[in-house]
Structure formats: structure tokens, C-alpha cells
Copies of this chain bind each other. A is one copy, B any other.
């Protein structure tokens, strides 16, 4: 299928490369049509890869994946144009990280709001599904790199869109459906975005970004 990738960083490159290798027609969108990182990626990723502005990539994609820095996401999506996103599923893997005070970053929004909610509010006719933001991009596109059971989450107001994204996570990246936890409406993005601070600590503790959260379940208590 035709997929628009927003963002030319590590995450956009990882997802775009994997999707192009799977035979999808992937256009990487950025602020300018002659972005050097996007051009490098197109050369590396082959015939299924192309590059353009955010507007071009949004118009190209049957679905769009937001891989921009969280602080730049809303502006990038506005540049794409509401019409070009209307009716489509927007997969949001971004985190609202605030590096203005150095490392580790804090969040620009949390607790009573989230980036996922802000995007959904700004684009009410787009079906925003927050997912994969709780892990490194290497794990996103190849969950087998972390052994054992570990989980992804989907958050979004449209149940069919959450189910569709769950199916795509399987087809695109190999996420088994039982390892994708449906947390319900987009307000649950507060929870998954707020996992970033502990994720950053775990990265420092274990000296590897190749880790992920697993939700271990016990028996339900007697009613």
C-alpha cells in the first residue's frame, strides 16, 4: 500500500526502510522537497522509496506515520494540510520530549493531556492511533530482537482504526496480535507517553535500547 512517513530521523528511516522492503510504496515527508536526509534514504531504500514535502507525503499515503520529534509534530501535520489527512488513519509514534533543559528530557505535555490527544483534537476527521512510542525504533520494526514476551500498545478513539493498526503491526513488523494491547480511546496516550521517563532510565541502567515493556498478568480476583 501507499504509506506516508513524516520525519527523516532514526525512527522515520527505520520504519520507512522496513516498509519499503516489504513492498509498500513509501514517501518520506519533510519540510522541504530537497531534504538531504530524505534523499539519502531514498537512495538507500530503493525503488519503493520516494521523498517530498509533508503535503506530498500526506497526499501520497493511504495512511501516514508520524515519526517527527514530538515538539515538531503538530506543525508538520498542519503543513501537510487537514484535507490530505482527512478520513485516514494517522499512526502516531512520536513522543513529546523536551530537550530544552538537556538530557534526560522531560515531556512538553503530560498528565492531563498528551501529544496523541493534541493531534486528534487538531485533526478531528483523522483517525489518530498512538502506538510503538514506548520502545526504540529497532524494536518497533523487529520485535524478535528482544527475546520473550513483550508488548506494544494501541490508543485511539476509533476501535476499527485500532484493530487495523494492530493488524498492520503484524503484517509490517511481525507483532503478534496477542502482544498488542488495546488500551482504548486516545486519552490512554497519556499513559503510554508517560512511560518515556522510566524507559530512558532503563536504557541508562541496562546500557541498551533493545528492551521493552511486558505486562505480566495474574488471575482475575474473585468477583
Contacts and interface: CB of A to CB of B under 8 A. Distances in A.
A44 to B, nearest CB: 19
Given A191-B197, A191-B198, A198-B192, A218 B145 contact: yes
A19 to B, nearest CB: 22
Given A195-B195, A213-B214, A216-B149, A221 B202 contact: no
A221 B210 CA distance: 8
A106 B190 CA distance: 10
Looking at chain A, what size class is its interface with the partner chain? 35 or more
A55 interface: no
Nearest to A219: B210
B220 A205 contact: no
Q: How many copies does the complex hold?
A: 2
A192 B98 CA distance: 19
A157 interface: no
Contact of A213 (B106, B107, B200, B215): B215
B184 A216 contact: no
Nearest to A142: B218
A182 B107 CA distance: 23
B213 A220 contact: no
A139 interface: yes
A44 B182 CA distance: 41
Interface string A103-124: 0001100111000000000000
Interface in A186-223: 188, 190-192, 194-195, 197-202, 204-221
Contacts of A150: 214, 216
8 contacts: A106-B112, A184-B205, A194-B197, A202-B215, A206-B220, A207-B220, A210-B217, A211-B216
Given A146-B218, A212-B216, 16 more contacts: A106-B112, A111-B197, A139-B218, A146-B216, A146-B217, A148-B216, A149-B216, A188-B198, A188-B201, A191-B201, A202-B215, A206-B215, A208-B218, A211-B216, A211-B217, A212-B215
